[in-house]
Amino acid sequence: MRIAGSAGLLSGRRPPPGAQPGVFELPASAHPSDVRALIWDGERLEERTVHGPEELAAAAHAPGVTWIEVTGLGDGTVLAWIRDALGVHPLAVADIANTPQRPKFEDYGDRDLLIAQQVCRDEDAGIAVEQVSLIAAPHWVLSVVERPCELFAPVRQRIRTMASIRRMGADYLAYALLDAVIDGYFPTVEAIAEVLDDLEDEILGRPGPTLLARLHSVRRVLVTLHRSMWRQRDALAQILREDGEPLGAGVHVYFRDAHDHTLQILDAVESYRELTIGLMDLYLSSVSNRLNETMKTLTIMATIFIPLTFLVGVYGMNFEVMPELHWRFGYPVLWTGMIAIAAGLLWWFRRRGWLGKDPEDESGGG
């Protein structure tokens, strides 16, 4: 399990210290941008591709509700359109460009900025965390993601097929998009639960050589998810304290539900972090235990044979005068003595509990 994606680390894009606030710099490798608008008014539903600032302004000001969906930042032209044609504050535009920002809510009059972080499961790299930026205005919502991750597809589908969401305003659309992003954490959290279960079984059974690395990478993922969800929760609490437009009291019941989901995810992430620490303790204990078993094996072996080897060494000496060597029953008597010593030591080990049943065959302590 690995974290990838621009939002997973702090090492994102950022203008150099001391630069003018509100500026942004985009790497040449940025994903080319694609701007689509979904406009509906009652029963009417229209989808457009937007090619310039005028078309953008027209789409935003169309009657009804408009969802402008931007994918990829390209060379930043689209960001200039957003700033100029839609009247979004330059600081908000800079937050869209200079990823990763922490999840937050900022009220710029009737252009509210919502930053969230989406978690996509990526077959190769594990988990990709990407910034999602939303601008909520009274009649339109702008969403910006850099790389497509199909979290918005079900929302788009609901708009196309169900009348109920089309009867709600732009504030509900902002909620629906944010909720899709937040609910996208659940499958990841469940995957972590399964990984932890596997790791626990492995630690109590026979831990493999990559166990520690896997345990540590789960810990990293949990630290990232916790940081992200914690800020998301703060942002939602702030929305619930807001009063005016565009995210008014009318949709608070829905945002409260989203807030509740962040709490559920946080609860789970915190429990899993605690379990991860518990697993690390468990692993350390079981390694110590195993070391003890190893040492007992060595000690039993050495303690039994070292005195016997000494004894046979004694009778390998070449002294002229060693009467025992000439006794008739010297050899069998020595064997008897050596067997007695070995038996005595074995009895002593058993009394100390070192020779009970082999704990390796049991779960747990082996």
Going by C-alpha positions, the residue among 93, 77, 97 that lies closest to residue 26 is 97
- Report whether 228 contacts 9 (CB < 8 A): no
163 sits near its own copies (criterion: CB under 8 A): no
Q: Give the C-alpha separation, 319 to 314, whole Å.
A: 10
121 sits near its own copies (criterion: CB under 8 A): no
16 sits near its own copies (criterion: CB under 8 A): yes
339 sits near its own copies (criterion: CB under 8 A): no
Going by C-alpha positions, the residue among 147, 144, 137, 122 that lies closest to residue 66 is 137
241 sits near its own copies (criterion: CB under 8 A): no
The sign of the dihedral angle between the CA atoms of 265, 271, 277, 279 is negative
Non-local (6+) Cβ contacts of 11 within 8 A are none
SS3 220: helix
27 sits near its own copies (criterion: CB under 8 A): no
Which residue number, 27 or 313, has a Cβ lying nearer to its own copies? 313
The pattern of x and - marking residues 280 through 319 that bind its own copies according to CB under 8 A reads xxxxxxxxxxxxx-xxxxxx-xxx-xxxxxx-xxxxxxxx
Please, how many CA atoms are within 13 Å of residue 132, restricted to the half-sphere of its CB?
A: 27
Least Å distance between CB 108 and its own copies?
8
249 sits near its own copies (criterion: CB under 8 A): no
- Report whether 179 contacts 258 (CB < 8 A): yes
Cis peptide preceding 100, ω within 30 of 0: yes
Least Å distance between CB 161 and its own copies?
11
State which of residues 28, 51, 164, 241 lies at the interface with its own copies (CB under 8 A): 164
Going by C-alpha positions, the residue among 245, 120, 108 that lies closest to residue 174 is 245
Which residue number, 48 or 290, has a Cβ lying nearer to its own copies? 290
Number of residues that bind its own copies (CB under 8 A): 126
Q: What are phi and psi of 70, to 5 degrees?
A: -105, 125
Residues 200-229 that bind its own copies (CB under 8 A): 200, 204, 206-214, 216, 219-220, 223-224, 227
Q: Which stretch binds its own copies (CB under 8 A): 32-40, 46-54, 129-137, 146-154?
A: 146-154
Q: Give the C-alpha separation, 292 to 200, whole Å.
A: 21
Which residue number, 41 or 314, has a Cβ lying nearer to its own copies? 314
Residues 178-197 that bind its own copies (CB under 8 A): 179-181, 183-184, 186-187, 189-190, 193-194
41 sits near its own copies (criterion: CB under 8 A): no
352 sits near its own copies (criterion: CB under 8 A): yes
